[in-house]
Amino acid sequence: MAEKIEVLIPEEKVTERIKELGEQISKDYEGKEIHMICILKGGVFFMVDLSKRVSVPVSLDFMSVSSYGNGTKSSGVVRIAKDLDESIEGKDVIIVEDIIDSGRTLYYLMDILKKRNPNSIRLCTLLDKPERREKDVTVDYVGFEIPDEFVVGYGLDYAQNYRNLPYIGVVKGVE
């Protein structure tokens, strides 16, 4: 591999911010139970660490979605490759995502999930690229706002590589 990875957010900062998010979520949901939905594959690393930092009861579920179109361009039409294992009706749901940029996939996914009658639904992302936003999605919990760079690590990949890096890095030398 010819790519060079430059550290954007070191492991210590990622760990500290996840702890802070867990504390905030615990405070916001005091006396309640949370049902976290991880968007596969990238969100797994984040959701596992986040759920360990939440002090209220947590249940977990997983979805795999893709937004397909011609080649690498997202159409914004969501195809559910793996749906939830259980109903979210009446539950306080937090969707856990690794990164949000255009917001197209999450916009449609939120619409789909709201129709399943959860008690509440919020969105938590490790990384947010607001300057790339095309659809208006409300992100309730943000780990880090980042510039429009191609990032890897902590679940994010480049051709299925680098997910296991313990930090967030910027890929250099890739067009």
Q: Which residues are catalytic?
A: 101
Q: For residues 81 and 62, what is the distance between their CA atoms, to the nearest angstrom?
A: 11
CB atoms within 10 A of CB 123: 22
Q: Is 117 left (phi over 0), alpha (psi -120 to 50) or beta?
A: left
- Indicate the angle between helix axes 43-52 and 11-28, nearest 10 degrees: 60
Q: Which residues have a Cβ under 8 Å from the Cβ of 126 and sit 6 or more positions away?
A: 14, 18, 43, 46, 97, 98, 99, 143, 144, 154, 155, 168
Q: For residues 69 and 75, what is the distance between their CA atoms, to the nearest angstrom?
A: 5
